[in-house]
Structure 1
């Protein structure tokens, strides 16, 4: 079945209808920002519209969702987000993630340090699931922060038209945009966030100079706390070195990152599943988010880290079952949003993905890895709960092959308000 056309978002601003194809649209949202006007998204026909706000970015203005309203948009609207309870995001909203529509700044509470005190040994950590859960939903661990940025960058969303268009340059650009207007402890997140740019032999010296300028803020200074940098990158290799171990990252061929023995051992214990699957499946990306410091010689050393697997389309997956499901969705040209765990424990069943092409409501897909057979639903059976929840698709891998996917439904064109 052919995919439906992508709708052009339409908004009501100051009593007038606007969309992004209009030449004066940038000026209209700039004026809306100056006069504190709230645009309304017109994705739902015959409705007053979903209230939004205008945020200022480094390169202009953008219309953003109001906090906790993504589910109010239609599933074919670019502003749509599945309900927070479909993933591990729910408990973090309002506690670890506080969005201010007036200033446009989102404050993030982290549960890992961003400085190293002079003379104090850095306790190695690997950001595993148990350490993330210890925050009890009140702060973002490294894994939760990585998931949040991936979500905000909409790298968890997929439509058939994205085929062949998502590369590292695109991933990097969207992650950096997602980090804009995010702050932790009153400081811009983007200032501490390093994401390697696509490497070019011709631009080697310029790339290295830009990297060194950004890393300069993490240079140790006698008697002062040393700031740590945050990094998101793709792992190329982790191997023994003359002293300890080193991580070689894609697009940084001229600079390895050191891991001490304790961190290396913890990484192997905490991320055995991810490392094993990455080692056997050539089309998987292994993403690292880490804090790192510079030593007195200017060499980077990893302090705390987490790992995440992603498919060839940069869609996150936890294990081989999710990889099979996501690959099937891409192969069958489905539109969907990938669910992420954040701080949720590994035994909590969350929506692996939500189909966005099954009508006006999301269609969650669940994988019950360790479900007891006594009360398990029939594999692939969609039920509508008495509480009005949408139908759900469930796969019990212990019972056999993945069941057929729910059928795709064509969109009903939205009629904008006059």
Structure 2
């Protein structure tokens, strides 16, 4: 029997189970979790004096693994340095889709996703999703996830939006892949396991080429076309190396997949250039940026993969998502100054000056939202020396008013004594 928690627990993480206190490394913790699941008891995370209710889910599989998970929409109730902490959903696009496109069942631990794109091959050509807002993927009413919304959700669930200086040098493609695959466990769409449909290329190693290719071919069998039957589509998440004309048609070359390009048709290739011109231009001009795509794809009888629908996402060298050049400047400043923060995502929400770009986690008191405004709407509330404002909800927020000049100084980093009890680097494994 295995046991784990959502988030990365440290020796100090503690729960109250059946009236007893257990740390995750305590003797008997695994048995207590199993007993709590059988008795339908709710553990309490002891990161706050009053505690926060959790639940225990049993993962599907041969090992009988158990996982301690947050109750839905309770992440912001945890202490900021707790591995179960999440910012309020309304500070990102998650608030628009949580409870509608994304629903979690505490009795099973499964999360059901309503998708706004097809996982079977449709007649006609490959396509981009319908436009919505500023050269982007689907804009929905919140009842379904677009491809971009799904990618943002998995990136959040994989905790790839969290950054601490201790992560430097540890966030490789292998880590990104492992975290994403783990995040896809327990997620279902239209009754199918998302994990079974998700293909993320393994880190390519020349001496393991044959084994890697064999595993890929075995997974792709479910997407092979068969006469007279609807074709199942798979999901790809990968880093783009090149999007270019091929000897015949056009292709997307994905890193860590050197011997197999993905085919795209001419219409998709041209629409990609028009729809995502800004993102592609920024990617092309900045060598330190990665371009990640999520796409649906089919596999022909000859074994050729063809992309049917796709959405790109720019990420920094630390694999932190960025929207544009200004957003990238903010992320770079935060990383260079050694800050601990969470990068917020839009999901299927259209971009506006009211969106929070990131949340500092190393200031005194509560988390500190940061946002970039390219309009004059915030000027009456601006504090010109610090760039800080007080929002109508009386929450202090840092704002960079780009029309007034360079980025202001970031909010001060809290000074903690060595014995302050602060636990750092808890959201990400080494």
Shared fold per TM-score greater than 0.5: yes
Residue 45 of structure 2 corresponds to 41
In structure 1, C-alpha distance between the alignment counterparts of 2:120 and 2:214, rounded to whole Å: 24
2:389 to 370, 383, 389: 383
2:239 to 217, 230, 234: 234
Q: 1:95 aligned to 2:97? A: no
Residue 53 of structure 1 corresponds to 55
2:23 to 19, 24, 36: 19
Residue 9 (structure 1) shift: 1.5
Contact 2:138 2:147 in 1 (8 A): no
Structure 2 residue runs of 5 or longer lacking an equivalent are: 1-9, 424-430
Aligned to 2:115, the other structure's residue is in SS state: coil
Using the size of structure 2 for normalisation, the TM-score is: 0.90
CA displacement 1:160-201 (0-9 Å, x = unmatched):
211111111111111011100000011111110001111111
Using the size of structure 1 for normalisation, the TM-score is: 0.92
In structure 1, C-alpha distance between the alignment counterparts of 2:67 and 2:162, rounded to whole Å: 19
Aligned to 2:206, the other structure's residue is in SS state: coil
In structure 2, C-alpha distance between the alignment counterparts of 1:42 and 1:376, rounded to whole Å: 38
Residue 39 (structure 1) shift: 1.1
Aligned to 1:62, the other structure's residue is in SS state: strand
Residue 3 of structure 1 corresponds to none
Structure 1 residue runs of 5 or longer lacking an equivalent are: 1-5
Q: Give the 3 Å change call, closer, same or farther, for CA 282–134 of structure 1 in structure 2.
A: closer
Q: Give the 3 Å change call, closer, same or farther, for CA 372–361 of structure 1 in structure 2.
A: closer
Q: Give the 3 Å change call, closer, same or farther, for CA 362–18 of structure 1 in structure 2.
A: same
Residue 133 (structure 1) shift: 5.0
Aligned to 1:297, the other structure's residue is in SS state: coil
Aligned to 2:96, the other structure's residue is in SS state: helix
2:12 to 8, 12, 19: 8
Q: Give the 3 Å change call, closer, same or farther, for CA 28–355 of structure 1 in structure 2.
A: same
**More divergent stretch after superposition (18-27 vs 158-167):** 18-27
1:286 to 271, 286, 291: 291
Contact 1:75 1:359 in 2 (8 A): no
In structure 2, C-alpha distance between the alignment counterparts of 1:382 and 1:7, rounded to whole Å: 36
2:220 to 215, 220, 224: 215
Contact 2:361 2:368 in 1 (8 A): yes
In structure 1, C-alpha distance between the alignment counterparts of 2:129 and 2:138, rounded to whole Å: 13
2:128 to 125, 128, 148: 125
Contact 2:11 2:25 in 1 (8 A): no
Aligned to 2:188, the other structure's residue is in SS state: strand
Residue 54 (structure 1) shift: 1.6
Residue 360 (structure 1) shift: 3.8
In structure 2, C-alpha distance between the alignment counterparts of 1:182 and 1:212, rounded to whole Å: 23
Residue 269 of structure 2 corresponds to 264
Residue 376 (structure 1) shift: 6.6
Contact 1:127 1:304 in 2 (8 A): no
Q: Give the 3 Å change call, closer, same or farther, for CA 269–23 of structure 1 in structure 2.
A: farther
Residue 153 of structure 2 corresponds to 148
